[in-house]
Amino acid sequence: MSRLITAVLACWLAGAMPVLAAGPHPIALAIHGGAGVMDRAKMTAEREAAYRAGLTAALHAGYAILERGGTSLDAVAAVVRTLEDDPLFNAGRGAVLDARGDAELDAAIMDGNGPRAGAVAAVRHVKNPIELARLVMDKSPWVLLVGDGAEEFALEQGVVLVSPDYFRTERRIEELHQVQREHAAAAPSPLPKGTVGAVAVDRDGNLAAATSTGGLTNKHLGRVGDTPLIGAGTYANNESCAVSGTGTGEYFIRGVVAYDVCALVHYRHLPLAQAVHAVIFDKLQHAAADTGGLIAMDRDGNIVMEFNTPGMLRAAHDLHGRETVAIFRDDK
């Protein structure tokens, strides 16, 4: 008994959350594929089915890892990698294109245990930016590497670079041309803009978050949004929560949104849903309409997926084993 008390105490002293209940922590996973002004009337059944299939595949890829005792870090990385590889989503292949017609990619990953973090921004030749972010976290003393320097690091780590053509899809090229004709970057898109991301808790009770994106269509060369900025678009801390955001990045940066949610949970002891509501509706929607959404998970594994846009592509496998895939607000 005294040994147990010592162990719990040592755990507490080390700053880790003591898991008092015997047995593994319940596992949970939530993912998103971007929030935006999605018009249900314009969404064909076929397209909707494709999104749902993409989300489901990513959810299963991540959940399988948690289920066999893997880490939340591996799970969120697997989810995001799957969504990066799927051309429907704005990350990796099929990312939106910048003003010059190239994809410039940003990604971040954060381990709530530590906490540790890695991120890359403005990379143009890295097939899976989330994996490079992970390497920055695991294999470098840095947190954020950008541009050519990030790609140099990728090469040093044995990552094979790809041609910018790999990322470009017909749909994104058309979308860019349409936006450039209309001189309006905010033109409604049939495809979700936003980002892709995931949050998870594993059997050891560790939280993790990961986010990846191509940013905004027709963006200025070198523009970096909230995704790779720790505290803005991505945050995880075992003492509070894990968050991955999606939306108009500039508002998320200025509001330090992801950290804000966790600070409300940690220091004001708000339930996760209230904290997310305060940030998404009171703070972000006050700043501008249709700013975006986020997925969040507290240390018990409770999931909140909220947005102030008409839709957010999202899916979850919750603590009770229930699986959901949804797009619009009234989707169950």
- Please report, as ranges, the residues that interact with another protein according to CB under 8 A: 15, 104, 114-117, 121-122, 140-150, 152-153, 185, 219-225, 229-232, 235, 249-250, 253-256, 259-260, 263-264, 267-268, 287
Please give the positions annotated as active site.
195
Q: Which conformational region is residue 268 in: left (phi greater than 0), alpha (psi within -120 to 50 degrees), or beta?
A: alpha
* 204 CB-contact burial (10 Å; exposed 0-12 / middle 13-18 / buried 19+): middle
**Shorter beta-carbon distance to another protein: residue 50 or 146:** 146
Residue 217 three-state SS: coil
Tokens of 17: 């959350």
Spell out a b/e string for 112-143, using b for 16 or more CB atoms within 10 Å of the CB, else e: bbebebbbbbbbbbbbbbbbbbbbbbeeeeeb
| Nearest distance from C-beta of residue 185 to another protein, angstroms | 8
- Give the whole-angstrom CA distance, residue 236 versus residue 290: 25
| Nearest distance from C-beta of residue 235 to another protein, angstroms | 7
**Shorter beta-carbon distance to another protein: residue 229 or 312:** 229
- Give the whole-angstrom CA distance, residue 67 versus residue 56: 16
- Give the whole-angstrom CA distance, residue 145 versus residue 133: 8
The residue assigned the tokens 């496998």 is: 317
Residue 185 three-state SS: coil
**Shorter beta-carbon distance to another protein: residue 62 or 197:** 197
Contact criterion met (CB below 8 Å) for 218 and 99: yes
State the first-to-last Cα distance of the chain, in angstroms, to the nearest integer: 46
**Shorter beta-carbon distance to another protein: residue 15 or 271:** 15
HSE, CB side, 13 Å, CA atoms: give it for residue 194: 36
**Phi, psi for 162 (deg, rounded to 5):** -120, 165
**Shorter beta-carbon distance to another protein: residue 47 or 254:** 254
**Shorter beta-carbon distance to another protein: residue 61 or 110:** 110
